[in-house]
Every structure is written in structure tokens, then in C-alpha cells.
Chain A
């Protein structure tokens, strides 16, 4: 039975299922990450009554499904067939409200995990310890430790030692939710190791400090090079996309928008020099992706060079980077073509 349902999902659609008790913040997460809603506006969201499914086109076609929290999941329901549902998803994201009493949620999560794991052992199980913006710094670690401990114990009691559960501390008021979703989505991308390899190669031949491959709409990064992610760098890069898109949008007129789909259009490119000698570099890729990188241009010994020579040096370096990024883009296109045939 399992293999049969696996076949149905061979159309390369990764689905994320978002679950949690009522009022734990599932819809807010969806709205903030995928619809660019302001975090404060999510206070006025109605409670979700039906399972909702939304699809996003990015490098992979992603679908996020949200289940209403008040639903008793073990009751037979008209809305969905739980067995079919769990066998068709790639990741199960369970949201726990860390500001509330969470013992109920912990029992709930272990029951769901047990059920889901039995149907689909390949499922990725992710737990978001959510709304941590209200907790003090020390308390966050305590809460995380407590929840991890309890979930581990519960799963042990149910006889599920082998299940991998990942935990994330998240809040919609900072970038932690994007970071968590980036990690979750990366697990679903089949081509990820190849992508990371390509990015590492790109770093090796240029003076990049850090490269991200961003999804422009959601600011989720689908891949990055193998150096550790510094949250500040991520934030700057993510906000740089906003700057680029907003500025460009101001001088766009209605008639020209039609050209957007045209393949012969030049890709959007944005370069910004910073005072400390680094450069922010953005280059539009395929399928709503953008490559954003932090470049450090090292002039070596600048003392005996004139300002003009330094400028020229920067220009040469940027052209080399441009060339290499174009090569990267072509390989990305090729990779995409071959993965589609599958």
C-alpha cells in the first residue's frame, strides 16, 4: 500500500503538513512566511475551520497544508482521509505554543507522531517551539530542553526509539521562523547535495564570504554553501532582496510588467558596496530564485595603489564573479531540466 501511495507523489511535489493545538499560531506562520503579512496584523486572523492547502512555486513545487487545531484528529472526518494524507506528505511540522501550558500539546504530538510514523516511516518530523519572543533568553533554553526531554520520553513509552524529531525555537517577530522553514524545506529538496556542491565550488573560485539561494517571495533559502549560517548575514541578505524588489517596482510601469515572463529579459542584478569593503551581490536565477552573496574584495596591499587602481580592481573582480555566476545559472537550468524528466 505504501509503495502505491509513494508512486502517486512522484510528481516532485513536496508537501508540508502544519499541525498543532488551537491558537498555537499555525495560520500566522503561513501568512507571515508565504504571504508577506506583517507579524502584528496576524493578531486579527480568524480561527481556521477547514484544512487549507496552498501551493508555492519555487525550485521545488511546495505545498503547505494546514489543519484546524480544534479538530480531534482521531475522529473519523469528512474533511480528509488521514491515512492517505499522512502517506502523501514529506514533512510534518508540529507547532507548540511555548507561552502556554504545553503538556497537552506534548501528548498530542506523540500520538500524531506515532500514527504518522506507522503509515509513513520516511516522514520528517519537525517540532516548532513557537512564540519564543515572549520568553527571556535563559528561559528559552530551559523550555527547549524540557520539551525535548518530554517528547523523547513519550516516544520511548510508545516504543518509537528510532524516530528522528528536530526541534526549532521560532517566533514570527524575527527571522527564526524563516531559518526553521529553510531547514525544513531543504530536507525535502532531492537535489540539495548537488546544489550545495555547486555553491561550494562557486565560493572556491571567487571571494565570496557567504552565498544563499533565496526564494524571492518567501525569503526562505533553499540552499547555502557549507560554511555555518550567521543569522545576521542571513537577515541582511534577505532584506537586500526587499530593497531590490521594492526599488525596481517603483519604476515599473503597467505595460512593462507583461514582459516579466519573457525569457530573453535580462535578469535582475543588484550590487551594493558597503563601507567595510564587502559587497552585497544579487543575481536573479531561474524559477523565482535569487542568488544573494556577500563578497569580500581583497585588494592586497593597497598602500601603493591609487584610488583609480583600486576601483579598477573591484570592477575586474565583479566581472569575474558575474561570469562565474552565469555559469552557475546555466548549470542550475540544466539540473532543473533533468530533474523534471524524472
Chain B
């Protein structure tokens, strides 16, 4: 019993120096803040815990660690001086998300702290997955973003290798959809039975013959899984589609959710008969939404037919 409860409970550490945007991220993804609202957030004191239920049986235990030097020193010192104390935040970690401010003046200090955090993690939770986010990318000129990211990422990878960590990096900003991409991959890495979802989606698509089917988590609207018809048929037709579409959809729907909140309600479904394709967004079960994109050209589109199919399919996911 104890084993199963601990395995469904995931501990995520959100670290980084003060002002790098950690709490803003958390508020946007998990608390439905708009990017504009995050200005009101103050400094985080010590550690702020939040427990988030994700996909029914999984609990994300997010530790948002304050980034002032005092707090960081405190975290690092307690873990080295009293390795068994309860205050040791590095114990039993599943994921470390380390945030770097691209505009930071003291890059060497940022990196040094990252190094010390990794050292502690190596000691207390060596199986931890490490993600780095190069945040506030919107403040950099578009032409320079990629280069800057590459330089920073190679440097950080060099630092992580001695500690046997393989790191994954993302360039993010709260003002566009890049944030959703990063968090989607972070959260997906924690879902144990992701291959089951994929298999079921694929078989569903064989029935429906849709252009694309995407699964979303309900509260955060992060992408869990997707299947694309054109991928298996031919390689070139899929290239027409926007590679950032998943994040954009997350972003659009999240904004829509907030706007519907103004009339104090929420939405359950959306059917869009567009110019070239029909889009169906519906509740799949208690914690998932499904989005189906059907092409207009090669099949007779009957909204009811699609929706009935979704109903049948949703029984598989109960």
C-alpha cells in the first residue's frame, strides 16, 4: 500500500534564483493566471508547497523554492550538514526544474548554484530527472534566441555530466506558448502508462480516420498524447501543419477558459466547422479532454457520428 501511494506521488522541485519567474510559471500552468496577472505575485518565502491532482491517480507535489540567496544557502546547507533532517528538500525528488533568467547579470553565480543543487541531488535522489528552462526569452531578439539557448544549454550540460544527469532544456516565456511545450514534456515524463494511451488513441483513429487526435489534461490543458494520421500515411503532408500547434491550442483554450470565467461558468465542449476542417473538443472523462480534427475533403462529416464515437471511446478511459 505504502509503495503504491508513494509511487503515484511525484515530488517536483522548482528552483532558480530570485526573480527568474518560477512562481509566475506555476500560477499560469496550475492556477489559471493570465500572463498579465503574474505581476501581482510577490517573492516566495522559503518553500511554497502545492499539491495538484493530475490524471486522477497521480499527485504532483510541487515545491516552489524561494530564490533569494538566504533561502538557497539554507536549502543547500541543511542538506549537507544534516543529511537526515526533515528539512532536506532534496530527498525523494522525481524531477528538478531549474529556471534561469536569460537577462540575469550574474550568470556565473546562477551556474554555480545549479552545480551545487545537482551535487546535492546526486547524493539524495540520483534517479531524478533534470529539466532546465531558459526563461523570459521574450526579452531577447528573435534572431539571437536560438544561439543564446544553444550556448547556455551546452554549458549546463557540461556541468551536469559529472553528476550523471542527462538534462533536457527548453527556452520559455510566459507571453507565448513555449511555456506549455516545456511543461507538457515535463509532466508527460511522469506519466507511467503513457504508451497505453498512445495505443488506444491509435486504434480509435483507425476507426474514425481523423486528421489528428489530441488528449489534454483537464485543468492544465497540457498535451498528454496525440496521434496524427498523415504521419503514418505519408511524410510530406504532415509538414504543412504548424509544429507548435499543440502548445498554441493549449494556450488558446486556456485563454478561452479564462474568458468564459467572466460569466462565472466553464465550458464543456466546442464544435467548430471551419473552412477546411472540423474540430471537436469534448470531455473524455473526469480528467481529460479530447480534441479531434477531421478533414472536410474525404469523408462525410456528421457531427453526431463523431460525438457518438467519442462517447464509446470514453468508456475505455473510465
Task: Name A's B-contacting residues (CB within 8 A).
Answer: 232-233, 235-236, 239-240, 242-244, 246-248, 250-254, 256, 259-260, 265-266, 268-276, 278, 280, 315
Contacts and interface: CB of A to CB of B under 8 A. Distances in A.
A311 to B, nearest CB: 9
Given A236-B260, A239-B255, A247 B272 contact: yes
A311 B270 CA distance: 15
Residue among B245, B249, B270, B293 with the highest chain A CB neighbour number at 10 A: B270
A278 B268 CA distance: 10
A270 B241 contact: no
Nearest to A278: B265
B279 A251 contact: yes
Contacts of A248: 272, 274-277, 279
Residue among B255, B265, B267 with the highest chain A CB neighbour number at 10 A: B267
B163 to A, nearest CB: 40
Contact of B304 (A253, A269, A315): A315
A240 B256 contact: yes
Interface string B227-266: 0000000000000111001001100110110011011111
Contacts of A259: 275-276
Contact of B268 (A232, A273, A315): A273
Contacts of A239: 255-256, 259
Given A250-B249, A266-B273, A274 B266 contact: yes
Given A247-B252, A247-B274, A275-B267, A254 B240 contact: yes
B84 interface: no
A251 B241 CA distance: 6
B240 A244 contact: no
A243 B271 CA distance: 12
B211 interface: yes
Nearest to B257: A243
A260 B276 CA distance: 10
A269 B253 CA distance: 17
Contacts, number: 106
Contacts of B273: 266, 268-270
Nearest to B264: A276
Contact of A251 (B271, B277, B304): B277
Contacts of A272: 267, 269-271
Contact of B274 (A232, A233, A235, A251): A251
Contact of A271 (B212, B241, B252, B271): B271
Interface of B: 211-212, 240-242, 245, 248-249, 252-253, 255-256, 259-260, 262-277, 279, 293, 304
A247 to B, nearest CB: 6
Residue among B245, B253, B266, B272 with the highest chain A CB neighbour number at 10 A: B272
Contacts of B269: 272-273
A247 B279 contact: yes
Contact of A275 (B268, B274, B275): B268
B275 A233 contact: no
B262 A251 contact: no
B205 to A, nearest CB: 15
Nearest to A260: B275
A83 B88 CA distance: 79
Given A250-B242, A253-B240, A270-B271, A236 B279 contact: no
A273 B267 contact: yes
A240 B252 CA distance: 10
Contact of A269 (B248, B256, B265, B272): B272
Contacts of B266: 274-275
Contacts of B267: 272-275, 280
A278 B242 CA distance: 32
Contact of A240 (B211, B241, B259, B279): B259
A78 B108 CA distance: 60
A252 B275 contact: yes
Given A251-B245, A252-B275, A274-B260, 10 more contacts: A233-B263, A246-B252, A248-B275, A250-B248, A251-B212, A265-B275, A270-B273, A272-B270, A273-B269, A278-B265
Nearest to B266: A275
Contacts of B304: 315
Nearest to A230: B263
A256 B293 CA distance: 16
A239 B253 CA distance: 11
A136 to B, nearest CB: 17
A236 B272 contact: no
Residue among A254, A260, A269 with the highest chain B CB neighbour number at 10 A: A269
A271 B248 CA distance: 20
A15 B12 CA distance: 58
Given A235-B259, A270-B273, A243 B252 contact: yes
Contact of B249 (A247, A265, A269, A273): A247
B178 to A, nearest CB: 16
A252 B211 CA distance: 12
A264 B279 CA distance: 20
A327 to B, nearest CB: 19
A282 to B, nearest CB: 9
